[in-house]
């Protein structure tokens, strides 16, 4: 049986499948549930300085299995109350990565320090939410901003810092390079792809916020392309995100350059037990293809071009 454990950026995980931020991450019990289901680690909902209700509904538009559109609007209980939830998950044994969002480098640094104090194994910076005014993509689209934010956070915390990169720009690899220059231990990509749903009967956008972000199988080829380009541009580890719902999807991301992957939308389609199925499928596929370890497949496709 192929070895699925991964070591990168100072992290040591039992398998490469992480619960993506924004899914099952508002409560500690849910984080614990994803861990118990088999995730290699769990990433919290993106947490801000103060409680935030998010947008009114509709916040999602559902399609067939190919995708899901959302504009939740970064709802979260705020860093004041959220440590309680992390503690619940940690008591259940979960390896928790804390995701944070903020409007500028100073606020990011302050927030990251409070997040680090909860004992999370790493911090992921949400530099890429495509639909929140003043946050996410709005502070993470310019390489100088990304470098400045990462540098400010890295100076404040001892745990590895992961910069989550947006695909909604002409040069995601440039953003990843900026994160590397700022001292990031790793980058994760991609966040959702900016997208819109229209209802023809009502002649209006479906989501209350209008614009949202697309996730799921539809964006896998976009995610793979970003990982591919980022792998060529940086030497820090990459976490792949976008439409991963099978062991093969994960291996494709690995061959494009990812050392681990995040899984989100598949939870909506298949339930949390997807974290039991994915490692099983991946191990089977690695065996079939003659890989002794998952890590041996990282970047494997790059030698063929």
Partner 1 sequence: MVRYRRPVRTIVRVTDRVQETPSTVTLRFPYAPPALPGQFVMVWFPGDDELPMSLSYTDGPSKGITVKVMGETSRHVQSVAPGTQVGIRGPYGNRFDLSPRRILVVAGGSGAAVLAPAAEAARARGAEVTVALGATRASELLFRDRFRAMGARVEVATDDGSEGHAGFVTTVAESELARGEFEAVWTCGPEVMMRKVIAAAEPLGVPVHCSMERHMKCAIGMCDACALGPFHVCTDGPVFPAERLKGVPDFGRFHRDSSGRRVPF
Residue 47 or 256: the one with the smaller Cβ distance to partner 1 is 47
In the bound complex, what is the minimum distance in angstroms from residue 277's beta carbon to partner 1? Answer: 9
Least distance (Å) from partner 1 to the CB of residue 134?
A: 17
Residues that bind partner 1 (CB under 8 A): 22-27, 29-30, 32-33, 45, 51-54, 56-65, 68, 70, 72, 75-78, 81, 199, 201-202, 204, 206, 208, 264-265, 267-273
3-state secondary structure of 238: strand
Element (H, E) at 138: helix 137-140
Q: Which is nearer to partner 1, 65 or 113 (CB)?
A: 65
Q: Give the side-chain half-sphere CA count within 13 A for 221.
A: 2
To partner 1, the closest distance from the beta carbon of 275 in angstroms equals 13
Select from 280, 247, 212, 256 the least CA-distant residue to 22. Answer: 212
User: Cα separation of 271 and 198, whole Å?
Assistant: 27
Nearer to partner 1, 78 or 134 (CB): 78
- Least separation, in Å, of the C-beta of 143 and partner 1? 31
Give me the DSSP letters along 200-220. TTTTEESSTTS-EEEESGGGH
Q: Are strands 204-205 and 198-199 parallel, antiparallel or unpaired?
A: antiparallel
Q: Closer to partner 1 by CB, 84 or 302: give it.
A: 84
Per DSSP, 101 falls in state: -
Pick the catalytic residue: 34, 129, 165, 274?
A: 129
* Integer Cα distance of 20 and 264 in angstroms: 5
Q: Is 129 a catalytic residue?
A: yes
The values of phi and psi at residue 155, to 5°, are -70, -20
- Catalytically active residues are 129
């Amino acid at each position: 049986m192929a070895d699925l454990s991964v070591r990168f950026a100072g992290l040591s995980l039992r398998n490469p499948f992480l619960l993506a931020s924004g899914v099952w991450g508002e409560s500690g019990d849910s984080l614990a549930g994803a861990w118990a289901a088999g995730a290699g680690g769990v990433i919290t909902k993106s947490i801000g300085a103060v409680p935030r209700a998010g947008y009114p509904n509709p916040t999602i538009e559902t399609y067939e299995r190919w995708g899901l559109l959302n504009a939740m609007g970064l709802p979260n209980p705020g860093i004041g109350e959220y440590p309680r939830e992390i503690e619940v998950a940690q008591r259940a044994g979960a390896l928790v990565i804390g995701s944070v969002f903020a409007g500028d480098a100073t606020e990011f640094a302050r927030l990251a320090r409070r997040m680090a104090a909860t004992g999370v194994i790493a911090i992921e910076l949400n530099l890429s939410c495509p639909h929140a005014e003043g946050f996410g993509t709005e502070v993470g689209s310019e390489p100088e901003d990304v470098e400045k934010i990462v540098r400010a956070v890295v100076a404040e915390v001892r745990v590895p810092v992961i910069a989550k990169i947006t695909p909604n720009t002409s040069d995601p690899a440039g953003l990843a390079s900026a994160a590397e220059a700022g001292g990031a231990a790793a980058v994760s990509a991609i966040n959702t792809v900016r997208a819109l749903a229209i209802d023809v009967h009502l002649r209006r956008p479906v989501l209350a916020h209008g614009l949202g972000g697309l996730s799921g199988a539809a964006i896998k080829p976009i995610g793979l392309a970003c990982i591919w380009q980022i792998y060529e541009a940086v030497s820090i580890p990459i976490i792949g995100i976008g439409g991963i719902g099978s062991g093969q999807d994960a291996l494709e991301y690995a061959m494009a350059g990812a050392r681990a992957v995040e899984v989100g939308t598949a939870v909506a389609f298949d339930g949390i037990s997807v974290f039991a199925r994915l490692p099983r499928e991946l191990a089977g596929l690695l065996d079939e293809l003659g890989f002794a370890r998952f890590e041996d497949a990282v970047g494997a496709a790059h030698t063929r071009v």
